[in-house]
Structure 1
Amino acid sequence: MKLVLPTEIDGQVPAPPSKSQMQRAVAIGSLSEAPLTITNPDFSDDSQSAMSVVEGLGAKVERQFGGPEANVRITPGAGLAQHTLNCGQSGLCMRLFPSIAALQDKPFTFTATGGLNTRPVGMLSDALSQLGAESHCKNGLPPLSVQGPLRGGNAVMDASVSSQPLSGLLLALPKAQADSHVEARGLESKPYVRMTMQLAAKFGVEIGHSENLDAFDIPARQQYRGGSYEVEGDWSGASFLLVAGAVAGRMAVEGLDADSLQADRAILDALRLAGANVKDGPNSTRVERGELQAFEFDLTQCPDLAPPLVVLAAYCPGTSILRGTRRLRFKESDRAAVLKEEFAHLGVRVETEENEMRIFGGAVRGGEVDSNGDHRIAMSAAVAALGSQEGVRIKNAACVSKSFPSFFERLEEARA
């Protein structure tokens, strides 16, 4: 049980590395014709799972920890392949790497732990089968078995639950035997797909697409170049730090790219709507407490912002509305339901509907929260504590290691 007491915030801290970019870079490194060196690497649990998986696919991964010299070097085809690959609790890992494994004429089984066993993968299995690979899962859930070769061709994919399986196909199909055409139905979280294509293009791979990203044409037999890549700061993790500044003082986060394709850069729009003072510079993003007010915000393209925005709304007098929340039930927890239940323990009323949340804000009493093993619930509880009356006790707070291992250290550094 971790206790976070009320405190004033006045700090300047570095952003964590983006695990979304890190895992995509790890995937590209495993596919490249030459080694890839990743600087500013992320060593969260999810990214460690990704590195372990590419080792299981036969790549060599060399990790150098510590400070500005930290890096990860991936050499494709220099290791020994395994048949069973554990993705831990990483949804991106489970949905990204089976497509890459299908490029090999070997059987692989992707397993999961914890809540990942309840997150859908059937849409990926169906698409892989359409593209020439053999793929199986039971009731649309992990474990997922796959055997190549991934030949290419035509496929129709249900992308309404997650964009992650589509990203996996887009990274793998350029190395397939034949050209491919993929239709993505109901795609949301489009910025993550744009991120995938941006990284592929950086390493020499061409992916054609329609304007609204519902169709993709992928030429076959392409090669990723390898080389080097610097991971951006993570807007998803930084969103909690920025909200901390809005509700408890001021916070500057260094290392965030204002022009990033990361979906969660939209946190700045929400903070401005809520009345926080936001200054977005080239090297530092600063948020200060202002005269907060209720706001409305659409999460369709950035569902991971729901937890920090519930915290922000809890401190905004009046009723705030978050729309586009339908997919929250497919996260590390049924995130909308957990936010409703756990914030009630803090004296904050949250109402949920199929695709909407209403937060009745003004003040946070404090109390005890169960993270339910969800890293973003744990971080939201910690930020909610900062301006509360009593502080917040967080059960299983250590789960923040899934995405932001140094979160509590950064919060402590920022205390006034």
Structure 2
Amino acid sequence: MVSLSRLSNGLTVIVHHMPIDVAAIYVFYNVGAKNEYPGIFGGSHLVEHMLFRKIEGLRGSVDELVEGVGGYFNGFTNYDYTVYVEVLPAEYAELGFEIESKRMTNAVFDPSEFELERKIVLSEFDMNENDPDFRLVYRASMIAWDVHPYRYAVAGLRSDLNRVSRDELFRYYRRYYNPGNAVLVVVGGLGEDKAVELANKYFGSIEPGGESGVIKPWDDGLQGRVRVELKALSGETPRLLIAFKVPGAHDIDGLRKTILADFIISGDRAFTYGLTSREPMVVPRSSRLYRLVEEGLGDAVYSYYEVTYMNNLYSIIIYNVKDPDRAIMRVEELIAERPSEDELGFARERIMARLVFSTDSPSKLAQIYGLSQLFMGDPGRLISVIEDATKSDTSEYIDFVNNLLNRSISILYR
């Protein structure tokens, strides 16, 4: 069973014991692209990079310490949060507590290392810009929002990444990296008492303070349908992106309906991606969207969706699109089509199968708990919402998708 407690300094501690010899230790910070402002767009990701550099008080680098005992480490930045993780043999689990407690307060932000990480982040930005899909989704985000923090995506702005100073991002780190703005999740071969004991040992002496990254959910822009055409670079495959705004996790009922709609439209989706990055998903042959390929409207179809706190885009990309006007119309027809009882039943089965898959390891389960706590204030609520998605009926689906179709973006790239 999952348990939740809080230290006196505000740190939330979530523990789930499993009879295995591995422990996954996650620390979620409620800070991401949503907390950025002009001048530091993309800064949350750069801060994450800096927290794998020199940390005062650690007896070695993070990679040396973790890999030295046969463990795995990672970190990733999202619109809504930044996460750090160690997956360790249970006998070395204490190392994860030590690393994360020092990461919370003792990152050095050495100026020379800062400039090196700036270059690395800018090179990642360049790699993204060389990906046509990234450029299309990025352009869709610019259309979807006017001033909303999701507008520039996690990658941020090149101009800000070029100019932001070490001192500005160090202040940003100090502002948001504090116990009251963090969730420690421990899943695996540590008992609850031992995990809480280690949490107190390593985090309990950290003084409360700093700021919360919690913001009130809001939205702007995209009140109708927008269509844009872009010229593809020489040698690039023509493609069509169609995106719809869907509810974020702040709207629990909307999220429940989004999950069912996703499994009817795209046919499948992992709820967590373990230790890998999120990528667009090739839709299975059993999905509605695959009919576009069967009908000769494109060579392949991908869809992209992830749970975010505020409303976000649900994106469909058709490669080598043959007739863009017909493809757009056909996508809307497929989405609006009333599901049969067999189709609903299959979607419900896939949801539950994917839920099992997404909670079958300590790392993936820790991710579910951390997201659920940040978004809903309850580590088990996200699992309940996913289960409840199987209870939606045909009428709910039709009403939901008809509203989606009224706010859409189509970008033809050829």
Q: Return the TM-score normalized by structure 2.
A: 0.30
Q: Which has the higher helix share?
A: 2
Q: Which has the higher strand share?
A: 1
Q: Return the TM-score normalized by structure 1.
A: 0.30
Name the larger-Rg structure. 2
